[in-house]
């Protein structure tokens, strides 16, 4: 059985995944520290661009 390292969101220390996914040092939640897989063919590009355009317009109140 392969075990993957997880990173604590609160303290930043690494640990192995356990039953309740809690950090043994501080009790914070463990997350996957690896970035998502890269692909030159981006299936979700149009959704991501429209989301960021909307967020940018709301932040700077552009209509």
3-state secondary structure labels for all residues of 2-63: CCCEEEECCCCCEEECCCCCECCCCCCEEECCCCCCCCCCCCCHHHHHHHHHHHHHHHCCCC
The whole-number pLDDT of residue 1 equals 47
**pTM for the model:** 0.52
Q: Which residue has the higher pLDDT, 62 or 32?
A: 32
Decide: 8 and 36 in contact? Cβ < 8 Å. no
Provide the edge-to-edge strand list for the sheet that holds 14-16: 14-16, 5-8, 30-31
The whole-number pLDDT of residue 15 equals 87
The first and second tokens of residue 46, run together, are 């149009």
Give residue 2's pLDDT band: very low, low, confident or very high (50, 70, 90).
Answer: low
Sorted by where each starts, the structural domains of the chain and their CATH numbers stand as 5-59 (2.20.28.40)
């Amino acid at each position: 059985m392969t075990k993957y390292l997880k990173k604590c969101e609160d303290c930043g220390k690494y640990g192995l995944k356990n039953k309740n996914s809690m950090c043994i040092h501080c009790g914070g939640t463990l997350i996957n520290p690896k970035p998502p897989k890269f692909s030159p063919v981006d299936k979700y590009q149009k959704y991501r661009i429209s989301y960021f355009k909307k967020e940018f317009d709301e932040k700077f109140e552009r209509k």
